Amino acid sequence: MLKIALFCSGGMSTSLVGSKMKRVYEEQGRSDISVEAYDFAMIDEIGGEVDVIIIAPQISWAKEQVEEQYPGKKIVCLTMQEFGAMDGVAVIERLKKEGVHD
């Protein structure tokens, strides 16, 4: 199971992106991928349990800190355009480009 966690400053906007990603994965029959959204304050609790950490643009300042804290994890920082579009397909395509999955 590939575990993906999205983090933003409050967890609300990432939950919208996450639900759209889940819908796309379900339509593709990808039951091997889970997507959850969290408040950035929860990264210490969640970060070690996931394979991919997606950082929303409003907390992009934390990318280096997260990379240092979780060196074995794939860290992806979304652009404002990717995040603002709230497009699950676009985010999944970005993950493919980053080598997260096929």
Q: Per the residue annotation, which of 8, 24, 56, 75 is the catalytic one?
A: 8
What tokens appear for 69 in the block?
Answer: 């804290």
8 catalytic residue (yes or no): yes
User: Which residues are CB-contacts of 5 (< 8 A; sequence separation ≥ 6)?
Assistant: 35, 36, 37, 38, 46, 47, 50, 52, 53, 54
Continuous H helices in the chain: 12-27, 43-46, 63-69, 80-84, 88-97
Residues designated catalytic: 8
